[in-house]
Amino acid sequence: MSIVEFENVTRIYTSGEHEQKALDNVSFTLDEGKFVVILGPSGAGKSTLLNMLGGLDSPNEGTITVNDRDISTLSDNELADYRAATVGFVFQFYNLIPTLTVYENVELVSQIAPDALDAKQMIAEVGLTDHLHNFPAELSGGEQQRISIARALAKNPKILLCDEPTGALDSETGVMVLKLLLSMAKNYGKTIVIVTHNQSIAKMADTVIRVKNGKIREIIEQDNPLSADEVEW
Amino acid sequence: MLTRKLFRTAWSYKAQFISMIIMITLGMGMFLGFNMEWKTIEVDTGNFFEQTNYADYRLYSEKGFTKDDIKKISSIKGIDAATRYLSVNLDIKDEKNKSLALDVSENYKVSTFTVMDGEAYDKKGDGFWLSDKFAAANKMKIGDKLTLEFQGTEIKGKIVGLIKAGEHMICVADKNQMMPDYNTFGYAYISPEKLKTVLKDKIKNDFKKELKKSRVPEEFIDEKLTELFITDEMLTEAETKAYAQINLISDMEKKALEKAVKKKLGRTIMVTSKDDHVVYKESNGEAEEGKTMGSVLPVLFLAIAILTMVTTMHRIATKEKTQIGTLKALGFKNRRILRHYTSYGLFIGIVGTAFGIALGYAVCKAIMSEGGMMGTYFDMPDWSAAIPEFCYPVMAATVALLTLISYLSVRQQLKGTAADALRPYSPKKMRKIFLERFRFWDKLHFGTKWNIRDLSRHKSRSAMTLFGIVGCMVLMVGGLGMRDTMAGFLDLLDHDISNYTTKVNLVDDADLKKSKELYDELGGDWESLSGISLDGDTVTLDIIHNPDNMLNVIDEDNNRIKLSDEGVYLCLRLSDKAEIGDKIEFSPYGSKKTYKAKVLGYNRSIMTESVTMTDTLAEKLGVDYSISSIYTDKKASNIKSNDLISGKQDKTQFMETFNSFVEIMDGMVIILVIAAVILGIVVLYNLGIMSYVERSRELATLKVLGFRNRTIGKLLISQNIWLTFVGVIIGLPAGVGVLQWLLTALAGEYEMKLMLGALTYSVSILLTFGVSLLVGLMVARKNKKIDMVEALKGAE
């Protein structure tokens, strides 16, 4: 069953007289519970695609349907509610609130997400119970990213959106974080979309969407994706 | 190239640059404006006094001064010029409640006037030289006839010139009137020759009356008959009596002059310096008052402006850190980069100061110009705008300081290698704050925690915001409180002190027996005012007979004092002269006698520095006195005029003269309050934007997580509101403190008790919160436009 549907989506950025088509008539569908990797070089339009999906940006043309709801025409407040209930984000630079502790950062989402999960439990699942009352700046990059995963999942969203989640980490930590991300997404039955230029991650995905110059080059369905341990990093 | 960058950078930080310039403009403008005000008073009145030969000393004698006396006085070494002088308040005939001070200067080198229109002064002239303001207020013009009533004789003549005189620059009928009212009171000069004619007429009239009393048939009483009886001696004697005053110009010390006068004339004469003359005293007091005001509130403006500049410049420098790194990496020398960024401060300083001078000039003109707030108070021909000398170094120092601030902010960013500089600025690491040790902390809403931690993380920004709010509050409480205190004082004067309907002023040295007869007829209370010397200072002896409580004396707490016959009361300004229970010694002017009396308490005096006693005590001590005024509940129109009465003043009319004074006060308060509100808006907006920019990444994250704009807006506003709350709590007592300090500093001028109305409190608080809320909303609105995608890019 498809959870995401992009139909002829075009996004044009204008700066001054210069126009840039970040997405050019893009159409695809994603199935629920799948692990999807959007792959492409920098400037290909993959982050734009993710932002559209996450309700951070709206298309100039076309429709985006998520969970049977057209999100391309929602108002600011409706989009905020959509982000609160339907999607969880994991960013390259974690984007934790520096003035809130680990626990507070995760607990924060319970204020907006209708089906939020227990913050303490989520932190335990990413193995950071000992750091409950630390500030983000007191943690390592890998630990911060684990908190960010806990925060994303605590909202209990339908889809988990990750923008280069291992981009700021060394490869060993990166693999560890990725494993955690995937296993948790699986345990909670979430659809997970990762944007990356890392080919190795793509080998683990159910679906790989290759993007270049704002267009989709190919969509590959992988019947037998590799596990993290099988991938060469 | 870098200059071009300066302007572009200034443009990209336009909100900050503009707000910094506004703040410096406002700070400098208020500072200059209020300081220029008093300096201009000093300069302009000083010039006018010089132009019209304002007297340095005035000698008074009940018997008057003879021609011989003035010759002797003139011969004293150290006296540049001297004249016999007459100044007496007279009613205008057939005009209700209109009177003039009529002046005569025998030697037109002392106490003269400037002719604005009409004939030049002629010492043999027959007409009136009338105050131009009085003429304008009463629609009189050159050529009009004027008749004054002078002790039963009429002084008739044409208006020949319209003038302004230094002696009447602040044209008030007596010391108790605060503001001129040209509709009812003005002044005029006549020539000494004209005075002679008037005196001759008076002698004739008096003689006619005597003849009538002696039952001489009326048909025999005519001009010819009376003319026959008038001798030169009679005329000289009348002239001597009329000239009860000598005005002189001299640089001598008062003591030396007193001694020299005594030696020459062989008797003690009451000598008062210009410091005791109402015009000089009031204008000097006004300048002093301005100096005191100028040293507090406007300085606060400037301080807030400069301090906010420190924070803002620091933020700009940190935000420019990577640019600084880039310039450094490109090979620009530190000195060049420093010079470039330092020029920001210089630019803001110069532009702000230039606008500040313009604003200062405007503020000064709004107060000190013919059409300005002081226009009714001072009656002088030339109005300038003078900057006190110390303001130039202050301006230079401000520009230098602003330049130094930007220099220091940039130098901090330049430390280390180019690579260090290229790394973006990272704020201090978050540490647990004190409050987190308590249990209740965990129960707080995340937004509350977020805001509290943000405040403690950015201490200087928070402190500056707080400082701005406290400043705003202090200015408002100070300004409005000043008005309240004034209003309260007037209310006190209107109800607690004065309870009469009409004040009947008696002629100088009115016969005591006749005065008491008049008092028995009118009822009410009476008062006698005379000059005494207390420890070498001239103060007023106020003898009061108040069985009917029409005129009252109040204590420090504004409660009425039931005067005791056992001792005297000193006004608060004289409280350092003697403790309660001590004995004071004083001597009336022109008398060798000294009297001792015990001090029973201190009282709040309206205008004059005074020693107050009851008539019973005065009689017990044997002090000679004459009644100056009777306070009665009879209406002015029901009181028949006679020789004894020099004027009648109804209380409402008297209170109305304060209105213009209150208007001046209102004008200044409005300037202060408007400036405070603008200052508050600019400071808070500037810091609010800073806080918003610094947190934009966090705000974007909240937005991405699914927080609505409203919720995030509330977060931003609530921080402002808390700071405002704390600021108000600190600012209220601070404002009251500043006001109390001001009142203490101004105590030499007025003895007012600090009074604050509920309205002042509520207006100050509401305006401050209003400003805070308005700015909060302005900042929160920006949140809507935050670009989530853009803000999430880049490293922490």
Confidence at residue B590, expressed as pLDDT on a 0 to 100 scale: 65
Q: Which tens digit of pLDDT belongs to each residue from A152-165?
A: 999 999 999 998 88
Q: Which tens digit of pLDDT belongs to each residue from B535-568?
A: 878 888 999 999 999 999 998 888 899 999 999 9
User: Beta A87-90 vs A159-163: how paired, if at all?
Assistant: parallel
Gap between the Cα atoms of B576 and B570, Å rounded? 10
User: Beta B568-571 vs B610-614: how paired, if at all?
Assistant: antiparallel
CA distance, residue B710 to nearest chain A CA (Å): 9
Q: Locate all alpha helices (DSSP H) within chain A, ordered by sequence.
A: 46-53, 76-85, 102-107, 119-125, 141-154, 171-187, 199-202
Q: Which of residues 417-456 of B touch A (CB under 8 A)?
A: 427, 429-432, 446, 449-450, 453-454
Paired strand residues for B246: B59, B84
C-alpha R_g of chain A: 17
Confidence at residue B747, expressed as pLDDT on a 0 to 100 scale: 67
Residues from chain B contacting residue A85 (CB–CB below 8 Å): 706
In a domain, B626, yes or no: yes
In this complex, do A82 and B706 lie within 8 Å of one another by their Cβ atoms? yes
Residue with tokens 């390592």: A140
Q: Which tens digit of pLDDT belongs to each residue from A88-134?
A: 999 888 888 888 889 989 998 888 888 889 999 999 988 999 999 89
Gap between the Cα atoms of B406 and B548, Å rounded? 70
Query: Does A16 score more than 60 pLDDT?
Result: yes
Query: Does B201 score more than 70 pLDDT?
Result: yes
Burial of B398 (0-12, 13-18, 19+ CB in 10 A): buried
Confidence at residue B349, expressed as pLDDT on a 0 to 100 scale: 92
Gap between the Cα atoms of B458 and A30, Å rounded? 45
In a domain, B234, yes or no: yes
% of residues, chain B, pLDDT over 70: 96
Least confident of A118-127, A221-230, B155-164, B377-386: A221-230
Is residue B698 very low, low, confident or very high in pLDDT (cuts 50, 70, 90)? confident
For chain A, list the strands marked E by DSSP.
2-15, 18-31, 35-39, 61-66, 69-70, 87-90, 159-163, 191-196, 207-212, 215-221
Confidence at residue B730, expressed as pLDDT on a 0 to 100 scale: 94
Which residue in B has a C-alpha nearest to residue A151's C-alpha?
B705
Q: What is the domain extent for residue B616? A: 502-634
Q: Regarding the domain with residue range A32-57+85-221, which homologous superfamily does it belong to in the CATH classification?
A: P-loop containing nucleotide triphosphate hydrolases (3.40.50.300)
In a domain, B490, yes or no: no
DSSP state, residue B554: B
* CB-side neighbour CA atoms (13 Å) of A217: 12
Across the interface, of B432, B704, B709, the residue whose CB is closest to A89 is: B704
Gap between the Cα atoms of B525 and B516, Å rounded? 11
Q: Which two tokens stand for residue A121?
A: 């439990």
Q: What is the average pLDDT score of chain A?
A: 89
CA distance, residue A230 to nearest chain B CA (Å): 31
In a domain, B529, yes or no: yes
Question: Cβ of B697 under 8 Å from any chain A Cβ?
Answer: yes
% of residues, chain B, pLDDT over 90: 35
Residues from chain A contacting residue B705 (CB–CB below 8 Å): 83-84, 89, 108-109, 112, 151, 155
**Complex ipTM:** 0.86
Collect all residues with Cβ–Cβ distance below 8 Å to B231 and sequence separation of at least 6: none
Gap between the Cα atoms of B742 and B294, Å rounded? 10
| Domains: count for chain B | 2
Gap between the Cα atoms of B385 and B369, Å rounded? 9
Confidence at residue B462, expressed as pLDDT on a 0 to 100 scale: 87
Question: Cβ of B703 under 8 Å from any chain A Cβ?
Answer: yes
In this complex, do A56 and B701 lie within 8 Å of one another by their Cβ atoms? no
User: Beta B502-506 vs B99-105: how paired, if at all?
Assistant: unpaired
For testing the chain A interface, which of B704, B787, B788 should be mutated: the one with the most A CBs within 10 Å?
A: B704
CA distance, residue A142 to nearest chain B CA (Å): 14
Residues from chain B contacting residue A149 (CB–CB below 8 Å): none
Question: Cβ of B328 under 8 Å from any chain A Cβ?
Answer: no
Query: Does B85 score more than 90 pLDDT?
Result: yes
In a domain, B326, yes or no: no
Handedness of CA B197, B203, B205, B207 (dihedral sign): negative
Task: Give the count of beta carbons closer than 10 Å to the beta carbon of residue B734.
Answer: 18
Is residue B796 very low, low, confident or very high in pLDDT (cuts 50, 70, 90)? very low
Across the interface, of B449, B788, B796, the residue whose CB is closest to A56 is: B788
* CB-side neighbour CA atoms (13 Å) of A28: 22
Q: What is the average pLDDT score of chain B?
A: 86
Mean pLDDT of A45-50: 88
Confidence at residue B142, expressed as pLDDT on a 0 to 100 scale: 94
For residue B538, what is the enclosing H or E element?
strand B537-545
Query: Does B425 score more than 70 pLDDT?
Result: no
Query: Does B415 score more than 70 pLDDT?
Result: yes
Is residue B5 very low, low, confident or very high in pLDDT (cuts 50, 70, 90)? confident
Q: Report angle CA A89, A95, A98 to the nearest 5 degrees.
A: 140
% of residues, chain A, pLDDT over 70: 100
Is residue B424 very low, low, confident or very high in pLDDT (cuts 50, 70, 90)? low
Residues from chain B contacting residue A155 (CB–CB below 8 Å): 705-706
Q: Which tens digit of pLDDT belongs to each residue from B307-350?
A: 778 878 887 887 777 778 777 777 788 888 888 888 888 999 99
In a domain, B32, yes or no: no
Across the interface, of A81, A95, A111, the residue whose CB is closest to B792 is: A95
Is residue B606 within 8 A of residue B493, CB to CB? The reply is yes
In a domain, B23, yes or no: no
Q: Of B276, B301, B326, which residue constitutes the final position of a domain?
A: B276
DSSP state, residue A131: G
* CB-side neighbour CA atoms (13 Å) of B769: 14
Mean pLDDT of B697-706: 88
Residues from chain A contacting residue B780 (CB–CB below 8 Å): none
- A contact set with B (CB within 8 A): 47, 51, 54, 56-57, 76-77, 80-85, 89, 91, 93-100, 104, 107-109, 111-113, 133, 135-138, 151, 155, 168
Query: Does B607 score more than 70 pLDDT?
Result: no
Gap between the Cα atoms of B116 and B128, Å rounded? 14
3-state secondary structure of B504: strand
pTM of the model: 0.74
Mean pLDDT of B397-401: 92
Gap between the Cα atoms of B305 and B69, Å rounded? 61
Length of chain B counted residue by residue: 796
Confidence at residue A124, expressed as pLDDT on a 0 to 100 scale: 92
Collect all residues with Cβ–Cβ distance below 8 Å to B5 and sequence separation of at least 6: B340
For testing the chain B interface, which of A78, A99, A106 should be mutated: the one with the most B CBs within 10 Å?
A: A99
Q: Count H helices, E strands: chain B?
A: 24, 19
Q: Which tens digit of pLDDT belongs to each residue from B243-286?
A: 999 999 999 998 899 899 999 988 888 888 898 788 898 888 88
Gap between the Cα atoms of B491 and B488, Å rounded? 5
Paired strand residues for B563: none
Q: B467 vs B307, B394, B474, B518, B775, CA distance in Å? A: 9, 22, 10, 62, 16
For B382-444, list the strands marked E by DSSP.
none
Is residue B673 very low, low, confident or very high in pLDDT (cuts 50, 70, 90)? confident
In a domain, B741, yes or no: no
Q: B571 vs A33, B272, B539, B582, CA distance in Å? A: 91, 20, 10, 15
DSSP state, residue B591: -
Query: Does B471 score more than 50 pLDDT?
Result: yes
Gap between the Cα atoms of B346 and B323, Å rounded? 20
Q: Which residue has the higher pLDDT, B64 or B687?
A: B64
Is residue B175 very low, low, confident or very high in pLDDT (cuts 50, 70, 90)? low
Residue (of B334, B466, B410) closest to B9 by Cα position: B410
